[in-house]
Every structure is written in C-alpha cells, then in structure tokens.
Structure 1
Amino acid sequence: MPTVAPTWLDDQQQHTWRTWLAVAELLPRALDAQLQRDAGLTHPAYVVLAMLSEAPERRQRMSELARAANQSQSRLSHTVARLEERGWVRREKSADDGRGNVCVLLDEGWDVVRRVAPGHVAAVREGFFDALTADQAAALDEALTAVLDRLDPDQSLRRGR
C-alpha cells in the first residue's frame, strides 16, 4: 500500500487553528466563571435553562433539548438531575406518547434565567463581540456557519437559530 504524505497546515492555517483552540478553551472558561459567580451554575447548565426558557410552554423533550443544548443524552441527563435537585426543572413523561421524557422549566428556574441572563449577555459581549467590528462579526458568522454545515450537513445536531 503506497504511503501518502500528509498535507500539513500552512503558517496561516496553523495560526488560525491554534487561535481557535485557545478561544474554544478560554471563552467557555470565562463564561463559566461569570455564571459560577452570579448563580453557582456551569455554562452547560445555564444553556439548558436558557433553551427551556425559549421553548413553548417552557418544556421540551429530552432528546430535542440535548440537541438544542449541544449535549449528549448522558450529559444532559446529569445536568438535568443537578437542576432538579435545585428545584429549577422537573422531568415528566411525555403526554404525547408516554414513552419519552419532557423537561419542564419551573418558575424558580425561570427566575434564575431572568436574573442571570443580563450578566451572561454582558460576559458574552465583553469576551467575544466587543473584540470584533461589525464586519468581522459578520465574516466570522459566515465562516463558522460554513464549518458547521460541513460538520452537521443534515442539521440534526445543531442548535436552532
């Protein structure tokens, strides 16, 4: 079998890739710190609460919630269990078919979202958008959408817009 030489990243690609890796590590860490400070929440837990707050009647099937929150079913189950312990959500059987589970955002959880969201939005702006011009933000959106379309061509894994 012939050996194929790898096509290495050029200098610009290497720089872009390493910059992306650093941002992908540092931005979630900064958002986690803000959420821990303001509400004792992890970023993945906040995303679950936020997705539920936007869902009709503040309820969503667990499988749909996992996709909306970009979490595996297993990770979502653990996240929801911690949120249940705090009295912010509850799981119940689906009224549609009785087989699936639905996660419901309770009033106490809704209060947390309303209280924490302004600080979270400020942290996202400060850590991400404030560093970009409007043209850079538009170009980044276009570039990230192209990558996401490659990674999730049937749009089955992505968060809704």
Structure 2
Amino acid sequence: MQTPSSANSVPWLSEHEDAAWRSFLALSRGMERAIDRQLQRDSELSSSEYHVLVPLSESKDGSMASRELLRHLDWERSRLSHMLSRMEKRGMVCRKPSTQDARGLIVEITDHGRQVINAAAPWHLAMVREAFMDQLSSDELKTLVSVAGRVIPQLEKMNLV
C-alpha cells in the first residue's frame, strides 16, 4: 500500500461516500453488539465461544487442529489459547496432542459443547434472519456478496487481513 505524502494529498470522501462508509460502520458494529447480546441472553455464550464451536460442530469428526482453527478464526494464538482454556473449564471443548504433529494440538467439541451449540444456533439464526436477512431483498443480498467479494481480496492484497 502506498502511503500518502501528506494528509492534503488524500482525497476526502464525498458526502455520499461518507454517508455510505458511516452507515456500513454503524451496521457492522450494531450487528456485532446485537449478536453478542442475543447469544449471551439466549444461550449464555459469548460470540467468541460461538465462533469456536461452529467450525468444530461442522467438521466431520468434531475436531480440528488448533492451527487450522486459528487460521479459520483469524485470531492471535494467545487469544485462542485463553478462549480454549475457558471453554475447557466449561466442558465445551477438550484439547489433545496431535498424533501427526508432535507440537500440535487437536481441539475437539465435547457432547456438552454440541448440546450448547445445538441449543444456541436456532435462537441465533432467528435473530440474524429477523434483524438482517428479512430486511434485504434478494438483489440486495447478491450485491452484498458481490461487494464483499471485491473488498476482501483487496484487503488481502494490502496485507490487512
């Protein structure tokens, strides 16, 4: 990414661009807060715990290498380690040494973790549908997917994700 030579060389956002950007930020932050509150209220899960349980519950055998889970979540190693410790204490996951990588760990969802995610998912999906999906037309959903399909690769190209 090129660095502007001075703040004056950066073109300011137009009124329309500024409104779009601020709306996107408000929507993104608002949805994150709503998801956090809904999960806590209906399932006593944090959104971070939910994000860990989803890929584990969707994997063939309910487990993933911790490195794979780390890449999937795009978290720092210490954040995942702390989260897994908390979730182990709550009986939702367990960690086991990898049979294929002497330094690696396998993270596995427990029966209790499956019960928790299975109970949380319908409430979570109902909120996402009511608050987000049902507010958008089919064309708007296609546009959103198209926008993400252009912006995310650009962020990757800029080494920002």
Q: Structure 1-normalised TM-score?
A: 0.89
Q: CA deviation at 1:88?
A: 0.7
State how 1:39-54 maps to structure 2 within 5 Å: 39-54=43-58
Residue equivalent to 1:7: 11
For 1:7 and 1:129, the matched residues in 2 are separated by 34
Gaps of 5+ in 1: none
Give 3-state SS (helix, strand or coil) of 1:56's partner. coil
For 1:152 and 1:126, the matched residues in 2 are separated by 31
Gaps of 5+ in 2: none
Equivalent pairs, count:
156
Residue equivalent to 2:75: 71
Q: Residues 36-64 of structure 1, C-alpha deviation per residue, up to 9 Å, x if partnerless? A: 01121111110100111112211111121
Residue equivalent to 1:122: 126
Residue equivalent to 1:89: 93
Q: Does the C-alpha gap of structure 1 residues 2 and 110 become closer, same or farther in structure 2, counting only changes over 3 Å? A: closer
For 1:3 and 1:122, the matched residues in 2 are separated by 45
Stretches of 4+ aligned residues off by more than 4 angstroms = 1-4
Tell me: higher relative CO, structure 1 or 2? Use CA pairs within 8 A at least 6 residues apart. 1
Q: Does the C-alpha gap of structure 1 residues 27 and 2 become closer, same or farther in structure 2, counting only changes over 3 Å? A: closer
Residue equivalent to 1:56: 60
- RMSD between superposed Cα atoms in Å: 2.1
1:152 matches 2:156: yes
For 2:6 and 2:59, the matched residues in 1 are separated by 53
Give 3-state SS (helix, strand or coil) of 1:138's partner. helix
**Identity level (%):** 36
Of the structure 1 ranges 70-79 and 99-108, higher mean CA displacement relative to structure 2 is found in: 70-79
Q: CA deviation at 1:152?
A: 2.2
- 2:82 partner letter: H
Q: Structure 2-normalised TM-score?
A: 0.89
Q: Does the C-alpha gap of structure 1 residues 5 and 105 become closer, same or farther in structure 2, counting only changes over 3 Å? A: same
